[in-house]
Amino acid sequence: MKPPISTIGPMPMASPSPTGPVMSQTTPGTPTHCPYCALQCGMRLTAAGAGAGGRPVLTVTPRADVPANGGGLCQKGWTAAELLTAPDRLTTPLLREHRDAPLRPAGWDEALDFAAARIREIQAAHGTDAVAVFGGGGLTNEKAYLLGKFARVALRTGQIDYNGRFCMSSAAAASNRAFGLDRGLPFPVTDVARADAILLVGGNLAETMPPFVRHLAAMRQAGGRLIVVDPRRTPTAALADLHLQITPGTDLALALGLLHIAIAEGLVDTGYIERRTTGFAAVRTSVSAWWPERAERVTGVPASRMREAVRTLAAARNAMILTARGAEQHAKGTDTATAFINLALALGLPGRPGSGYGCVTGQGNGQGGREHGQKADQLPGYRRLDDPAARAHVARVWGVDPDDLPGPGRSAYELLEALGTPHGPKAMLLFGSNPVVSAPRAGLVADRIAALDLLVVTDLVLSETAALADVVLPATQWAEETGTLTNLEGRVLLRRRAAPPPPGVRGDLAVISGLARRLGQDPAAFPEDPRAVFDELRRASAGGIADYSGITYERIEAEGGVFWPCPSEDHPGTPRPFLDRFATPDGRARFVPVEHRAPAEDLDERYPVYLTTGRVLAQYQSGAQTRRVAALNEAAPEAYVEIHPDLAERLGIAAGERVRVTSRRGTAEGVARISTAIRSDTVFMPFHWAGEGRANLLTNPALDPTSRMPEFKVCAVRVERIPGAAA
């Protein structure tokens, strides 16, 4: 029997082994992983009778043999199989011959022929970069790899990026420049329970990744302390021993103040700094101006609490600093993550078992999705596209001339903003994303997408973005296909097919293969079989930072997952890559001086309130999937605006009334929730809904200069009661 919607199921402790126990081959059902977040919880799917059209109805049970969740699931995991039988699921291609025509059902050959013909016409008229590709952080490694190859070989376009740019790109950039390697957690997630103190910055894991909380709970049950940095008293902050309730957009100033305290009080690990790092002197000088009282004025966090946080981390035998979207989704997100890495290095944490710095990534394959070619500047194996040696290696695998590979293209938001403009792409192929809801300044993005000459979308349902398309292709889903994903700890996992797709539905690999063939490519170069694609991915990644060459489907099945880098089939994988040296040329981690700067948009008389956005427990990303699951919709049915009682009183707003939130970019509406969990100068909106509740109509697309991450997490707004509006 399924547990109540509010529970996450039983959570026994996982095996201490970093790779977990081998699964039983006699247990009924198909062992696989959840389709949602990057924790990639283990679950088992079992057929339980037949539903509409005679298709099997799948039931979900959690697996205790997967260390990430150890028998627990959140609401979304328990209900994941219900999405497969959504009543509005697409089962036939849709096509419109011109923009004024409605979408109509079409056959696969007609739809693919139409798309390929229009691609050829547009590229002939405007050049190869006139066609763009936009991917998703939920695509399997095989799909991400083949999509990147398709863009650069079949289309010969440099215009490819993906929605993972909006996820952990700032932490990735910071980790690369400090450690020479970006892996969300450079240690197994089970190490979290071994820490004696954890500083979690900008993460609400109790709602975004509930089974992760078992590891935090185990840490605290053993006497450890949890410190949470967040503008809201979230369910995660409520679990903390110390909550630093920061002013939105000031995380970087907080990190500088914390490091100043560590240095001033003699709490830094000088031996570690001398042995394992470079650049500390410059950082020590750069934080000298950030005495705690100054940091308090900027952040709103009392200096006494800052001192308590630093002393707690420094006194711990093992400590961790973890950052998440709240700290990273800013126009200074890379520098903010860097500042917390500097703090971790000063305390001697990275590279010690039970200690370290990590980023709690969000999307299901946010890690693997950027490692193998979806990102505008990267080739498979996390190689740089502008590196001649990297281009030569991948070109050999692909059987093309390195000079024929296009150079780096636009980042995700810059690509979306350029669509349909005189010098931007005139067509886009979109896989696994819904930017009309999820992108910043979503109103402008919708206008740009509508201005395209051709939009081709593969999706499960007619999402808000798919509704604007000229060609919509119905795609198989997670339980109907096999493929690998890489979770937040760098463990490569295998999702297995548990049921056939509905008649008329094809996989993304088949779509890519079909288009490539129609564009004159050798079908053998774009196989539909995921194992064949993965074998080529292994060769393409060989020798790269993210080396998968020693990972096979058989090893993943036998070992419960394999950590990259894994350069040969007799290599054990690398659960903790920084134990002996960092991935820099000299093996030392780099301190990097950074400076605080105000949000790209601060408060003024017209827009006197901060807006911050985030997720809720029962919904996911743009909501295109979860809004179609009845139990999840019942738990979180509509957009809302969380307002402090003092602000609500000043504005004359009562709980349950509809309110309007306006920024310089647009207006959104939601039901007022009055709560002391939010600061009195800030309101919060979740971003899962379309229509009037679309929070990303408000958000600021100001970009981080390094990661090109938009500033989702803070902008200036005004809030008004809507007279006469019923909730």
For residues 174-192, average pLDDT: 96
Residue 15's pLDDT band, with cuts at 50, 70 and 90, is very low
Write the single-letter amino acid at 78. W
Determine the CATH number of domain 94-166+367-528: 3.40.50.740
Count Cβ atoms below 10 Å from residue 519 Cβ, excluding itself.
19
Quick check: 332 pLDDT over 70? yes
Give me the pLDDT at residue 52, please. Answer: 63
Give me the pLDDT at residue 154, please. Answer: 98
CB within 8 Å of 124: residues ≥ 6 apart: none
Q: Which tens digits make up the pLDDT trace of 473-483? A: 999 999 999 99
**Distance, CA of 370 to CA of 151 (rounded, Å):** 14
Query: Do strands 471-474 and 94-95 pair parallel, antiparallel, or not at all (unpaired)?
Result: antiparallel
Give me the pLDDT at residue 369, please. Answer: 87
Q: Which tens digits make up the pLDDT trace of 425-448? A: 999 999 999 999 999 999 999 999
Give me the pLDDT at residue 19, please. Answer: 34
Give me the pLDDT at residue 55, please. Answer: 74
CA angle 132, 485, 349 (to 5 degrees): 105
User: What are the tokens at 578?
Assistant: 């920084």
Alpha helix stretches (DSSP H) within 316-383:
325-328, 333-346, 366-371
Q: Which of 14-28, 331-345, 541-555, 682-696 has the lowest mean pLDDT?
A: 14-28
Give me the pLDDT at residue 20, please. Answer: 37
Query: CA nearest 69: which of 221, 213, 237, 236?
Result: 213
Q: Which tens digits make up the pLDDT trace of 45-88? A: 999 877 666 678 899 999 999 999 999 999 999 999 999 999 89
Q: What's the chain's average pLDDT?
A: 94
For residues 501-530, average pLDDT: 97
Give me the pLDDT at residue 726, please. Answer: 57
Q: Which of 14-28, 168-182, 302-316 has the lowest mean pLDDT?
A: 14-28
Q: Where are the domains of the chain?
A: 1-85, 94-166+367-528, 169-359, 609-721
Give me the pLDDT at residue 54, please. Answer: 67
Give me the pLDDT at residue 51, please. Answer: 67
Give me the pLDDT at residue 17, please. Answer: 34
Q: Which tens digits make up the pLDDT trace of 251-283? A: 999 999 999 999 999 999 999 999 999 999 999
For residues 164-171, average pLDDT: 92
Residue 168's pLDDT band, with cuts at 50, 70 and 90, is confident
Give me the pLDDT at residue 676, please. Answer: 97
Q: Which tens digits make up the pLDDT trace of 630-686? A: 999 999 999 999 999 999 999 999 999 999 999 999 999 999 999 999 999 999 999
Write the single-letter amino acid at 70. G
Give me the pLDDT at residue 364, please. Answer: 87
**pTM, 2 dp:** 0.94
3-state secondary structure of 562: strand
- Say if residues 563 and 573 touch (Cβ distance below 8 Å): yes
Angle between the N-to-C axes of helices 141-149 and 508-518, in degrees from 0 to 180, rounded to the nearest 10: 10
Q: Which tens digits make up the pLDDT trace of 453-468? A: 999 999 999 999 999 9
Q: Which of 5-9, 21-25, 121-125 has the lowest mean pLDDT?
A: 5-9
- Say if residues 178 and 592 touch (Cβ distance below 8 Å): yes
Q: Which tens digits make up the pLDDT trace of 220-248? A: 999 999 999 999 999 999 999 999 999 99
Domain 609-721 - what CATH class? mainly beta
- Say if residues 195 and 319 touch (Cβ distance below 8 Å): yes
Quick check: 723 pLDDT over 80? yes
Give me the pLDDT at residue 14, please. Answer: 32
Give me the pLDDT at residue 23, please. Answer: 38
Query: Does the domain at residues 169-359 carry the CATH identifier 3.40.228.10?
Result: yes
Give me the pLDDT at residue 7, please. Answer: 31
User: What are the tokens at 649?
Assistant: 């009183």
Give me the pLDDT at residue 2, please. Answer: 31
**Distance, CA of 639 to CA of 81 (rounded, Å):** 24
Give the neighbor-by-neighbor strand order of the sheet with 94-95. 104-105, 94-95, 471-474, 454-459, 427-431, 131-135, 160-162
**Distance, CA of 179 to CA of 341 (rounded, Å):** 9
Task: Write out the DSSP string of 164-213.
Answer: GGGTSHHHHHHHHHHHS---SSSS-GGGGGG-SEEEEES--HHHHSGGGH
User: What are the tokens at 508?
Assistant: 């993304």
